[in-house]
Chain A
C-alpha cells in the first residue's frame, strides 16, 4: 500500500525545471503532488503521478536521472492536531521522517500528505493498525 514517488535530479542550470514540466505537459502527465528540495548546488523534484514507471522511463529517455521510491500517502484529518497525531505515532516507534509534503487538493475532511520515512514497512503497519487511511497507487490514478 505504498505509493511510488518519482525523484528527478535537477542540476543547477536555469531552465532545467521548466524543461521537465514541459516534457510532462507534452505527454499529458499530471503531477498530483510535488515538492522541490533545493540546495545551492542542485535540486530534487519529487512528485506523485498516476503512472510512475512510465513517467520515469519517459524522463530517463530525455536524459534525466530519475529514481522511484516507496512513500506513504496518508489521509491526515484536516483539523488542528491532525498532523501532530500521526507524527507522534511515528516518533513513538522511533520511525524517522525524511521529509513530507502535501497534495495540492484535499479529500473531504482530510488533507493528503506524502510521508517519506526510514522504515516504510513498519510505518505502514503502524498507521494501518491505528486506523489511519492510506492511499494506494490506484487511488492516485483515480484522483
Chain B
C-alpha cells in the first residue's frame, strides 16, 4: 500500500519531539486565553493558578474543563480570544437549547484548518489529480467549507455541490468523473444505492471521506463494495475546529489525531485522565487556534486512544470509532440534536401537551426522527385542516430550534410515557 503524506515533518515527527512541541504550544495557548478570555482567567484564578504554573502537558490536569454549556453561556462571541475585527469567519452548530454554538476563526485558523484537511485528503489517498465532490452541506455547518478548503489546498479539482439533491449529485458525479467523494456515510450509501438503481456499474470514484455521524465497520464494507472505493472515516466538531481533527489513513485502523494542533485526553467518570487503551470521554485542548481556543473541551464522545506505531508512518495517536455518547446528544443525518432542543421547540407551540417522545429509526440508509406529542383537548378540531396546520407548526418549530427535519405524530393525551424521575424521551431504534 502506498501512503502519500502531505506534511511528513509534522505528521511523522518522533513522539518525544512532538511532546516538546505540544508543551511549548500548550504554554502559549494557556497564556493567550488567560490574557484575553475572562472566562478562562476567572476559572484559573479560582483554581489558584496562573500561566506560569503550566510547564507543559504534564500539568494539563491543573487546567479547567470546558463544556458545551460554557459556550452557550458566552453566546455568541464571549469566548473569542481576539477582537472581532480579527475574526474572518463564523461557523455554528446546534446548541443544547435555542441558541446555536458559535465558533470564530482568524485567517490563521482557516489556514491551519485547510492544512489539516489537506493532510486528511492525503490520508485518504486523494491528491492534486483528483476531482473531489463535496456533498457535505455548505454554510454554518463546518463540513462543506472544511472539506472544500482542504481539497483546494492540495490542488484537487473541487465540485462544491453541497448536500442533498441526489439526482443532480449522480449526474455530476458521472459527467465530471469525480474520483473522490466527501459526505456523511449514510448519504454515501444512499448515493451508492441510487447509482445501482440507475444500473450504473462503475464510476471513477476511488476514495471517500465520510464523517459527521457514527457508522460501523459493516457500513464501511458495504459502501466500499458498492462503490469500489476506500471509505475513510473522518472526525471533527465545530467547537474544536470542524472536520479534520482526526482522520484515518489507508490502514483504516483508527483515526490519527493531529496532535501538533490538538492535545487529546480520555477522561473517566471521576474526571481524571485515563491511559491509552481505556475508554472514556474524548477531550481536546486546541493548541494553535487563535479565534476561539478551548482548554480541555469535553466532546462527550466515548472512545479509546492508541499510540502504537502505524504502518503508514505517521506518529500521531489514533482514536477508535466513537462508541457512544456520555450525554443524550443524538446525531440525525449528521446533525447534532439534543432532546432539550426539541422540548424547547415544543414549548413554543400552542395546542399540545408538553409530553413528548422522540423515535429515531434508520429507513433505508437515512435516519428519520419522529416526534410524538400529545394533542391538547382544547385544540381538538373536527377538520383535518386545523389539525394538519398544528402538525406543520410543530414541524417548523422543531426545524427552527433543532435544525433538523422531523415528522410529527399527534397522540391522545395521556398515552405517552410519563416522567418517573427521568422520562424515557428517546427511543433510538437504529442498529449501530
Contacts and interface: CB of A to CB of B under 8 A. Distances in A.
B1 interface: no
Given A11-B415, A63-B415, A41 B410 contact: yes
B414 interface: yes
A130 B415 CA distance: 48
Contact of A11 (B377, B380, B382, B409): B409
B384 A11 contact: no
A12 B413 CA distance: 14
Interface string B369-411: 0000001010011111001100100000000000000011111
A11 B410 contact: yes
Interface string A50-85: 000000000010011111010000000000000000
A39 interface: yes
Contact of B410 (A7, A37, A42, A64): A42
B20 interface: no
Nearest to A42: B410
Interface string B216-231: 0000000000000000
Contacts of A13: 411
A65 B412 contact: yes
Nearest to A37: B384
B380 A65 contact: yes
A67 B380 CA distance: 6
Interface string A3-16: 00101010111000
B412 A46 contact: no
Contacts of B413: 63, 65
Contact of B408 (A41, A44, A63, A65): A41
Interface in A24-50: 37, 39, 41-42, 44, 46
B119 to A, nearest CB: 48
B214 to A, nearest CB: 29
Contact of A5 (B377, B382, B407, B409): B382
Contacts of A12: 409
Query: Which 4 A-B pairs give the minimum distances between C-beta atoms?
Result: A7-B382, A67-B380, A69-B382, A65-B380
Interface of B: 375, 377, 380-384, 387-388, 391, 407-415
7 contacts: A11-B411, A37-B383, A63-B412, A64-B412, A65-B375, A65-B412, A67-B381
